[in-house]
């Protein structure tokens, strides 16, 4: 066996192992705190921190994704190009659907989903986590409703200091109640009293540093690729394995959309099938 062939085989094995590991669920405790698992009637207390990016005016970053469901039940999330202040080819078409009452429901299913990424400490764990990461600075993925509660207080003239200030900041209560069959966060809010960070919390910031939140946003996608995926989803076509190089699909929450737009198919996909 030549040295070149041996080196080639070693490189192929390393690449295959790396590829497989990227699709393997990590056994390490997640840095994302799953506050949505807080039981009704319980409260999780968190302390939000600044973004590690000094150029970010806010202490959060916005995340925009679009859910796509395919004919075989596979689901995938693709980033919306509006995150980069560009026109999104998917939304450009979906906007026209809202003018047709018969397509309004499906238009909403393809509309961008907005969430916000924060970081901070879990002061009181209402979830009851059994395992926690070594780094106590966690990330929080917040939906639009809870974000509006966070933002409203920032615009209140009675709040004199930034709630993320190390000495004069405030904790934030995530309180879960039930509204029908759904969890409700309407009673969540900032603590009335300020609280300086503890020595232990300050030491954690010194040791681990703050996350640069934008680095946890999705990478900017190819407009042509997400347009192709969108067309396939609308037409009820199956998931294409080629897309797995860019997006990790899920089989949870099967939703069939093929009957809503009968006959509308991707010309690009048709051309590939016929060649």
DSSP letter string, 114-139:
EEEEEEEEEEE-SS--S---SS--EE
Q: How many CA atoms lie within 13 A of 67 on its CB side?
A: 19
216-270 pLDDT, tens digit each: 998 999 999 999 999 999 999 999 888 887 877 775 543 333 333 333 333 333 3
Give the domain ranges of the chain.
30-274
Q: Average pLDDT in the 65-94 region?
A: 93
* Host H or E run for residue 248: none
| Residue 218 · residue 193 · CB < 8 Å | no
Which has the higher per-residue pLDDT, 171 or 158? 171
Which has the higher per-residue pLDDT, 125 or 10? 125
164-213 pLDDT, tens digit each: 999 999 999 999 998 888 888 989 999 999 999 999 999 999 999 999 99
- Whole-angstrom distance, CA of residue 163 vs CA of residue 185: 19
pLDDT at 19: 46
Is the pLDDT assigned to residue 273 strictly greater than 50?
no
pLDDT at 3: 67
Q: What's the CATH superfamily of 30-274?
A: Replication Fork Single-Stranded Dna Binding Protein (3.90.198.10)
- Report the Cα 258 to chain-centroid distance in Å: 26
Does the predicted model carry a pTM greater than 0.95?
no
Contacts of 184 (CB under 8 A, 6+ apart): 176, 177, 178
pLDDT at 241: 86
């Amino acid at each position: 066996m030549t040295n070149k062939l041996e080196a080639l085989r070693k490189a192929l094995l390393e690449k295959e192992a790396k590829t497989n590991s990227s699709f393997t669920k990590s056994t390490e405790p997640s840095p994302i705190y799953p506050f949505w698992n807080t039981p009704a009637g319980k409260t999780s207390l968190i302390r939000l921190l600044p973004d590690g990016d000094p150029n970010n005016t806010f202490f959060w970053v916005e995340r925009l994704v679009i859910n796509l469901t395919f004919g075989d039940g596979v689901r995938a999330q693709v980033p919306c190009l509006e995150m980069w202040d560009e026109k999104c080819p998917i939304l450009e078409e979906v906007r026209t659907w809202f003018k047709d009452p018969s397509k309004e429901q499906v238009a909403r299913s393809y509309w961008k989903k907005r969430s916000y990424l924060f970081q901070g400490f879990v002061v009181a764990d209402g979830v009851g986590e059994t395992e926690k990461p070594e780094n106590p600075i966690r990330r929080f993925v917040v939906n639009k409703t809870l974000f509006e509660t966070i933002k409203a207080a920032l615009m209140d003239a009675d709040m004199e200091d930034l709630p993320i200030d190390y000495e004069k900041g405030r904790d934030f209560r995530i309180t879960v109640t039930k509204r029908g069959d759904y969890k409700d966060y309407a009673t969540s809010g900032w603590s009335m009293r300020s609280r300086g960070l503890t020595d232990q919390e300050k030491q954690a910031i010194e040791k681990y540093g703050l996350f640069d939140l934008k680095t946890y946003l999705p990478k900017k996608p190819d407009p042509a690729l997400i347009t192709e995926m969108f067309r396939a989803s609308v037409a009820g076509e199956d998931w294409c394995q080629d897309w797995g190089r860019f997006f990790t699909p899920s089989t949870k929450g099967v939703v069939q959309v093929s009957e809503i737009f009968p006959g509308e198919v991707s010309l690009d996909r048709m051309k590939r099938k016929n060649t």
